[in-house]
């Protein structure tokens, strides 16, 4: 579903005239004057930008700031790909949207903003997610691609298609307080070519295998600070403008002097608790194209083809461990209680004592919990358990596993423990761990999981609960 939103764009991308010698219009001279007088820029570089076509995949925390500067700089054709709609929780970082556009497709919302900033470029809306079926069609019409997506399966897909179609790729990612950016496949090099190298790496050369699914952090789950992801998006636009203005995406002509490829991963990492971290920006030297790379290495033409990708080979979801679905519960029926039952059978029985252990991170806990709950983050619980195990103090030291507030008087050791987390997965493991450590006193003390976590609590008990 392509939607061209500028009447000046005259049909298919190949028919656009790439005029590299025309005079600039009055408006262009004025609008781009400050960037054109930067040493190394000038008219020729600006015309390259005006003739360039950039595809921004993802209209989120990276895509919004990247698109603003891409549009501001006067890139001639700007495509945006995203299938999501704007949500309120996006707006702290996805600054190309607005409160009044909540519920609109992100692509249309962002283009509305970009047109306001600069009406001259041709904007092309792709209001769909990129998939193995549409990826080649989306990417083929552009000169340079920005990967502003949010999951590993899509990142491998985009890189593979960029290798196959010989497109330079500027890839960035961010979560919590860290960000990364790297320029890949630039200048684009034919798939499988190694002779005469070194050649630039692709995404797979740098990141051969994705992390296991349990180690993948998403912004929705783990959080993200706006300026951290924003900086990475702005840096993507900076790299794109540099590459296009200087024709760095075109392999050097014979006899042309150019600095050799130096693949660099820029790492940005910031600490909320120290004024100056041990490092904030770090430029890391990466290896060039690898002979062993699945996508661009020796014999890769046999493994990776456009037709193959459309057929589902390789299977990106499977490769990234997403086929298995969410981890299933491990506990027996009698070890679990629903939030509603907990209220009816436990909370309202005023005489019965009990302990509620909330294993969410302290930031989540700071917004509230079940009345009387004590916070012991899951990671900390595991660390303390491991420490106790190592020191061999299983009993009686095992009581120290729980926060002091949960201490009960002698003779009350059978007071039950109810464990709750965010969505009901960690809490089940916590119940198992506490039992393994002997806190259930051989079955005398009940340790029960509150099924579905605080998410279910909000749904079943307290709709006003500030669940994040």
Binding residues for ATP: 61, 82, 89-93, 106, 150-151
One of 74, 76, 96, 179 touching another protein (CB under 8 A): 179
CA dist 342 and 418 (Å) reads 9
Please state, in angstroms and rounded to a whole number, the distance separating the CA atoms of residues 246 and 255. Answer: 17
Q: Which stretch binds another protein (CB under 8 A): 14-22, 186-194, 271-279, 298-306?
A: 271-279
Residue 156 DSSP label: H
Asked if residue 219 binds another protein (CB under 8 A), the reply is yes
Which of the stretches 100-108, 162-170, 207-215, 336-344 binds another protein when contact is defined by CB under 8 A?
Answer: 207-215
Examine residue 230 and tell whether it contacts another protein (CB under 8 A).
no
Rg, C-alpha atoms of the chain: 27
Considering only residues 284 through 313, tell me which ones interact with another protein, judged by CB under 8 A.
Answer: 284-287, 290
Contacts of 434 (CB under 8 A, 6+ apart): 401, 417, 419, 440, 447
The CA distance from 426 to 412, in Å, is: 27
Chain position carrying tokens 């600039």: 24
267 touches another protein (CB under 8 A): yes
| Distance separating alpha carbons of residues 401 and 397, to the nearest angstrom | 8
Q: How far is the CB of 415 from another protein (least distance, A)?
A: 27
First vs last C-alpha separation in the chain:
34
Number of amino acids touching another protein (CB under 8 A): 56
Of 69-77, 187-195, 217-225, 308-316, the window that binds another protein (rule: CB under 8 A) is 217-225
CA 374 → CA 38, 297, 333, 390, distances in Å?
Answer: 58, 54, 24, 25
DSSP 216: P
Of 95-103, 114-122, 272-280, 449-457, which part binds another protein (CB under 8 A)?
Answer: 272-280
Q: Measured between alpha carbons, how far is 149 from 59 in angstroms, rounded to an integer?
A: 8
Binding-site residue numbers are 61, 82, 89-93, 106, 150-151, 202, 205, 293, 296
User: Among residues 209 and 441, whose Cβ is nearest to another protein?
Assistant: 209
Asked whether position 463 contacts another protein by CB under 8 A, the answer is no
Contact with another protein (CB under 8 A): which of 90, 149, 189, 300? Answer: 149
Give the residue, chosen from 42, 252, 323, 379, that forms a contact with another protein under the rule CB under 8 A.
Answer: 379
Q: How far is the CB of 277 from another protein (least distance, A)?
A: 7
318 binds another protein (CB under 8 A): no
Residues contacting 210, CB < 8 A, separation 6+: 152, 153, 156, 216, 319, 320, 321
186 catalytic residue (yes or no): no
Nearer to another protein, 149 or 428 (CB): 149
User: 290 or 364, CB closer to another protein?
Assistant: 290
Q: Which of 49, 126, 150, 294 binds another protein (CB under 8 A)?
A: 150
Encoded tokens for 175 = 């979560």
The CA distance from 331 to 449, in Å, is 8
- Residue 245 tokens read as 């203005």
Looking up tokens 């608790």, which residue turns up? 273
148, 162, 186, 219: the catalytic one is 219
Q: Which of 123, 207, 316, 365: binder of another protein (CB under 8 A)?
A: 207
Contact status, residue 179 vs residue 99, Cβ threshold 8 Å: no
H-type helices in 118-247, by residue range?
135-140, 152-165, 203-206, 219-222, 226-245
Active-site residue set: 219, 421
Residues engaged in binding another protein (CB under 8 A): 58, 60-63, 148-152, 155, 172-176, 178-180, 206-212, 214-219, 222, 224, 229, 232, 265, 267, 269, 271, 277-279, 282-287, 290, 379, 382-383, 385-387
């Amino acid at each position: 579903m392509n939607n061209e939103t500028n009447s000046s764009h005259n049909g298919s991308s190949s028919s656009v005239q790439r005029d590299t010698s025309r005079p600039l219009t009055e408006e262009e001279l004025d609008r781009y004057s400050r960037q054109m007088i930067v040493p190394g820029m000038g008219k020729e570089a600006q015309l390259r930008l005006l003739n360039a076509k950039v595809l921004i995949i993802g209209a989120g925390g990276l895509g919004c700031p990247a698109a603003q500067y891409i549009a501001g700089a006067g890139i001639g054709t700007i495509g945006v790909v995203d299938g999501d709609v704007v949500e309120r929780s996006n707006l702290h970082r996805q600054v190309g949207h607005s409160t009044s556009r909540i519920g609109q497709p992100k692509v249309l919302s962002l283009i509305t903003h970009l047109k306001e900033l600069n009406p001259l470029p041709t904007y092309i809306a792709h209001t769909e997610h990129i998939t193995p079926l549409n990826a080649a069609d989306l990417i083929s019409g552009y000169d340079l691609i920005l990967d502003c997506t949010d999951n590993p399966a899509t990142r491998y897909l985009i890189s593979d298609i960029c290798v196959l179609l010989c497109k330079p790729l500027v890839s960035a990612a961010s979560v919590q307080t860290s960000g990364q950016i790297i320029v890949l496949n630039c200048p684009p090099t034919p798939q499988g070519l190694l002779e005469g190298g070194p050649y630039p790496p692709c995404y797979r050369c740098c990141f051969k295998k994705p992390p296991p699914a349990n180690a993948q952090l998403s912004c929705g789950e783990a959080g993200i600070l706006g300026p951290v992801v924003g900086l990475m998006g702005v840096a993507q636009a900076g790299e794109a403008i540099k590459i296009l203005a200087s024709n760095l995406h075109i392999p050097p002509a014979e006899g042309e002097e150019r600095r050799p490829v130096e693949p660099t991963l820029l790492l940005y990492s910031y600490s909320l608790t120290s004024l100056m971290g041990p490092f904030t920006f770090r430029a890391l030297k990466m290896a060039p194209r690898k002979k062993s790379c699945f996508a661009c290495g020796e014999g890769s033409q046999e493994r990776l083809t456009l037709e193959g990708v459309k057929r589902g080979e390789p299977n990106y979801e499977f490769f990234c461990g997403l086929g298995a679905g969410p981890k299933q519960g491990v506990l027996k029926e009698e070890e679990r209680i629903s939030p509603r039952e907990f209220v009816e059978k436990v909370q309202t029985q005023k005489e019965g004592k009990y302990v509620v252990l909330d294993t969410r991170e302290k930031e989540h806990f700071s917004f509230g919990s079940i009345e009387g709950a004590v916070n012991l983050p899951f990671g900390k619980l595991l660390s303390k358990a491991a420490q106790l195990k190592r020191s061999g103090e299983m009993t009686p030291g095992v009581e120290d596993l729980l926060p002091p507030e949960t201490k009960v008087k002698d003779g009350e050791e059978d007071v039950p423990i109810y464990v709750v987390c965010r969505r009901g997965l960690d809490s089940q493991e916590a119940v198992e761990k506490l039992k393994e450590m002997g806190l259930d006193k051989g079955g005398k003390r009940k340790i029960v999981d509150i099924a579905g976590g605080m998410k279910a609590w909000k749904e079943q008990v307290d709709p006003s609960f500030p669940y994040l």
